């Protein structure tokens, strides 16, 4: 098959392979970092909380009054001279 490919097709294949290798290295680095971080933690999180499909806790929705108060504080902080 190699001899039937153009140089452009070979370059595309090599770029794809290089991307696969980079992703694999990044995945392993991510895993190693998190293993060490968990080893250093005092309290291990529950496994179900770490799983991809774990239900996420929803924060309480802000009221309109809370949003307006935050906007006032932000405006005051930004416009200070």
Predicted pLDDT of residue 2: 78
- The residue written with tokens 């070979």 in the block is 10
Predicted pLDDT of residue 42: 92
Mean pLDDT per block of 10 residues along the chain (81 residues) reads: 92 96 96 94 86 77 95 91 61
Kindly report whether the global pTM for this prediction surpasses the value 0.85.
no
Burial 27-56 (b: 16+ CB within 10 A, else e): eeeeeeeeeeeeeeeeeeeeeeeeeeeeee
Predicted pLDDT of residue 81: 61
For the chain, give percent helix, strand, coil, nearest 5: 70, 0, 30
Which DSSP category does 39 fall into? H
């Amino acid at each position: 098959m190699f001899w039937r490919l153009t140089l452009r097709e070979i370059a595309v294949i090599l770029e794809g392979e290089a991307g696969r290798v980079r992703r694999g290295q990044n995945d392993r680095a991510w895993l190693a970092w998190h293993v060490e971080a968990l080893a250093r933690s005092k309290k291990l999180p529950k496994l179900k909380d770490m799983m991809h499909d774990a239900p996420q806790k929803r924060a309480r929705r802000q009221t309109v009054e809370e949003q307006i108060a935050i906007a006032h504080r932000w405006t005051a902080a930004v416009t200070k001279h």
